Amino acid sequence: MDEKLERQMVRILQLLFDGKISDAERVIENLEKRAKGTELNGYVTAIKGIFLSYTTDDKTSMLYRIYSSDDPKRELQRYVDAMREADSSFDDSTSPVVEVWEAVLRNFDRLPVPHKFRPSQEEKQQTLDREGTAAEKG
């Protein structure tokens, strides 16, 4: 995945995770027009898959499983590792789907917690903070 496409993917996810669905969709549509009939099409399809799983509240999607876990970044790393392993068994090239998720992992710290998960992530952090405070006192 080239740098420009990765930056656009990060922007789409930032908009999406901030609840700016229409803005994210508009960026995807522009990207789709540019990618039509090119090698970028597979990347756009993967990005659109993330978008659709989020906007349709697909609770079985990888995105939901990642952000529903106690440690989303570690969970994402596990999924990316498993995808790399499965992908490498086919041929020497890397699937655009794997490359998109690798880019999500590289940029994880730049992405906001998805707005649909903010209350649960904040509660988890508060619990961790309380446990840390209790351990310090004990």
Buried b (16+ CB within 10 A) or exposed e, 70-104: eebeebbeebbeebeeeeeeeeeeebbbbbbbbbb
For 6-44, what is each residue's pLDDT tens digit? 999 999 999 999 999 999 999 999 999 999 989 899 999
The domain locations on the chain are 3-137
Instruction: Please state whether the predicted TM-score (pTM) of the whole model is above 0.75.
Output: yes
For 86-100, what is each residue's pLDDT tens digit? 988 777 788 999 999
